[in-house]
Structure 1
Amino acid sequence: MPKAQSHLHLTGAMRPSTLDELAARHGVAVPPLTGLTGGPHEWAVFQGRYDAARAAIRTAEDVARVVREAAEDDAADGCGWLELQVDPTSYAPVLGGLEAAVEAVLTAAAAAPLPMGVVVASSWARSGEHATTLARLAARYAGDGVVGFGLSNDERLGRIEDFAPAFRVAGDAGLLRTPHGGFFTGPAHVRACVEVLGATRVGHGTAAATDPVVLELLAGRGVALEICPTSYPPFGVHALDEIPVRTLLAAGVRVALGSDDPLLFAVGLGGQYALCRDVLGLTDAELAALARGSITSSAAPAGLRQAMLAGVETWLA
């Protein structure tokens, strides 16, 4: 079934075999990454593993390989458009600065075997001023491969109002605005991401399912939630069979499935749809609604979007 990938982080997109090879080449010690199982884990456990893996990406050639392989993996799962999220702050020290880091990802994306865009992201753990710097950087490359501006990491680490200036810059540049929210926090956080930051999509946002007012807000404004099923059980946020996908769909909220960090959670994009079918019991019609949501909430070019939507209807028929 044709679909778009809306929530995938650069380091988390790496194949385990590629991580092993790059770590050996650069002499980087990386602990075994076999997926976050058991738990629930504290966020620091995930962040420590993620940071260790990120340290293995040292050159523009490494970036190009990770991007190419991520595109290959998603294409094999029926993905027709990929949006890859990257915080250039993390790669700037080894790639030659923030601008060089963004350009390395854009160059890799342009050569990838799948149409794609780049979402530049800051972190809830950094200052609003730093986020504004990155939003201005993202705005400079709007139209040249950057399609969005995001805010990743644990949303409990920052104050929403501190990031409003950054999201105004992104909005003025016509970029998608995709802050993470409503993962550890409640529905009020999702609402504020929409009302204060002007979010066009919210990363995760599953807490919205508990508040009819927030659901109505999301549905009324056409704000999509980027739901990544395998990301929640390791932190005790939701059991796999309790993820509120059907509640969101029933409320008229657009849902875009993503794989988030398959390096750590061990399930790719196609596997996320399979879990929705096999564990949540979604019907083919509901799976098609997820695919449509991923496509219509994406920055895919209009012609590609229409072709993918037509492909969904063919699959459903």
Structure 2
Amino acid sequence: MEMPRPLADLPKAHLHLHFTGSMRHSTLLELAREQGLHLPDALEKDWPPRLRATDERGWFRFQRLYDTARSVLRRPDDVYRLLREAAEDEVAEGSGWLEIQVDPSGYAHRFGGLTATLELFLDAARKAADAAGTGMALIVAANRVRHPLDAKTLARLAAQYAEHGVVGFGLSNDERRGRARDFDGAFRIAKRAGLLLVPHGGELNGPVSVAECVDDLGADRVGHGVRAAESARLLDRLADRQITCEVCPSSNVGLGVVERAADVPLRAMFDAGVPIALGADDPLLFGSRLLAQYELARSVYGFSDQELAELARQSIRSSAAPEARRKELLIGIDRWLATPEPHETP
């Protein structure tokens, strides 16, 4: 019986991972115990939580769990630990480049303000990447539920560090509570600084949300974007303009965007020519990391090894990785494909 090529050996880039949500579950439990913090059952004995954020109550519960997880990160050492462990996890799964999304606003009151917080994250990311032997950069993300002026403040901050480890500017949180077009000023600031524009869209709202990200914000990539599959015309536009969608299958199931992994339109988007970068989104809340998304592509969506290699290439081409690292990773993909499939020993 033939065994498939190990997906952990396939070089890839990870472009959709949130800072707090990247925390290991074991680290959350350990830090909570150290601080005497009582965790809800959904983050302890019933982990991973059963979430359904397609209604107001469900999204509020998701955010409450997220805020609980954020509350255990109280010291600079906790930030260094989280990013060190994230880098180690990426390397173990074959990821040679990580763009991790952060909103400094959520931590600024603990770490001396927005600038000091971002500098802490950047230093921790550099040290984590060096120690693990991988590449890592930050995407500064504004929050849709806050005022667009706050987003402009974050965009200016991101622009100041565009040559020092910040590679992109994003927009996250519930897209039903903030239109993308309201944040166009912040994205213009980020674009002038040469940052990648990577707003979330097309997750809890339909194709119009994706179209706004593209037309009003000039998105280079769209976080999620799966609802674009509801419009053949929009899929054609994404394919023609080669705008990458950061598809996170486990997250889509976890938040109730779809009922089953099989319902995520990954195959339809890929076949339409839309570039795809698989992502884990928030492993702490959804219970699976990047490698599991590639395993779903193989087992649920029927991707061949050639197609899996192309998914990995698309993630690298859509990244802000330096040219030397891109070349190294792309050569590694060719090498992975050139390796004969292992055979099971009788």
TM-score bracket, normalised by the shorter chain, equals over 0.9
- Partners in 2 of 1:230 and 1:184 — Cα distance? 14
The 1:207/1:39 distance shift into structure 2, 3 A limit, reads closer
Q: Deviations over 1:173-219 (max 9, x none)?
A: 01111111000111111011011001101000101111121112111
Residue 257 (structure 1) shift: 0.5
- Partners in 1 of 2:211 and 2:141 — Cα distance? 20
Kindly indicate whether residue 21 of structure 2 is the aligned counterpart of residue 12 of structure 1.
yes
Tell me the equivalent position of 1:44: 60
**One-letter amino acid of the structure 2 residue matched with residue 54 of structure 1:** R
1:248 to 261, 266, 269: 269
Tell me the equivalent position of 1:302: 323
Kindly indicate whether residue 214 of structure 2 is the aligned counterpart of residue 194 of structure 1.
yes
Tell me the equivalent position of 2:147: 127
Residue 312 (structure 1) shift: 1.1
Residue 279 (structure 1) shift: 1.7
User: 1:36-75 residue pairs with structure 2 within 5 A?
Assistant: 36-37=49-50, 39=52, 42-75=58-91
Tell me the equivalent position of 2:300: 279
Residue 37 (structure 1) shift: 3.1
Residue 234 (structure 1) shift: 2.4
User: 1:225-236 residue pairs with structure 2 within 5 A?
Assistant: 225-236=245-256
Tell me the equivalent position of 2:159: 139
**One-letter amino acid of the structure 1 residue matched with residue 164 of structure 2:** D
User: Does the 8 Å contact 2:53/2:59 carry over to 1?
Assistant: no
**One-letter amino acid of the structure 2 residue matched with residue 130 of structure 1:** D
> Quick check: 199-208 or 217-226, which moved more?
217-226
Kindly indicate whether residue 51 of structure 2 is the aligned counterpart of residue 31 of structure 1.
no
Residue 40 (structure 1) shift: 6.8
User: Does the 8 Å contact 1:292/1:312 carry over to 2?
Assistant: yes
Residue 290 (structure 1) shift: 1.2
Tell me the equivalent position of 1:22: 31
Kindly indicate whether residue 228 of structure 2 is the aligned counterpart of residue 208 of structure 1.
yes
Q: Deviations over 1:13-53 (max 9, x none)?
A: 11111111222233333224211337577212211111100
The 1:39/1:135 distance shift into structure 2, 3 A limit, reads closer
Q: Deviations over 1:129-179 (max 9, x none)?
A: 100100000000001000111111111110222100000011110111111
Return 5+ residue gaps in structure 2 as ranges.
1-9, 339-346
Tell me the equivalent position of 1:262: 283
1:88 to 94, 104, 121: 104
* Matched position secondary structure for 1:142: coil
| TM-score between both structures, scaled by the size of structure 2 | 0.89
Tell me the equivalent position of 1:79: 95
* Matched position secondary structure for 1:184: coil
User: Does the 8 Å contact 1:227/1:257 carry over to 2?
Assistant: yes
- Partners in 1 of 2:34 and 2:119 — Cα distance? 23
> Quick check: 229-238 or 137-146, which moved more?
229-238
| TM-score between both structures, scaled by the size of structure 1 | 0.97
If you compute each CA radius of gyration, which structure gives the higher value, 1 or 2?
A: 2
User: 1:153-232 residue pairs with structure 2 within 5 A?
Assistant: 153-232=173-252
**One-letter amino acid of the structure 1 residue matched with residue 114 of structure 2:** L
Return 5+ residue gaps in structure 1 as ranges.
none
User: Does the 8 Å contact 2:51/2:62 carry over to 1?
Assistant: no
> Quick check: 279-288 or 9-18, which moved more?
279-288
- Partners in 2 of 1:38 and 1:228 — Cα distance? 15
User: Does the 8 Å contact 1:292/1:309 carry over to 2?
Assistant: yes
Q: How many residues get paired?
A: 317
**One-letter amino acid of the structure 2 residue matched with residue 142 of structure 1:** A
Tell me the equivalent position of 1:152: 172
User: Does the 8 Å contact 1:40/1:233 carry over to 2?
Assistant: no
**One-letter amino acid of the structure 1 residue matched with residue 243 of structure 2:** V
Kindly indicate whether residue 123 of structure 2 is the aligned counterpart of residue 107 of structure 1.
yes
> Quick check: 190-199 or 27-36, which moved more?
27-36
- Partners in 2 of 1:26 and 1:92 — Cα distance? 20
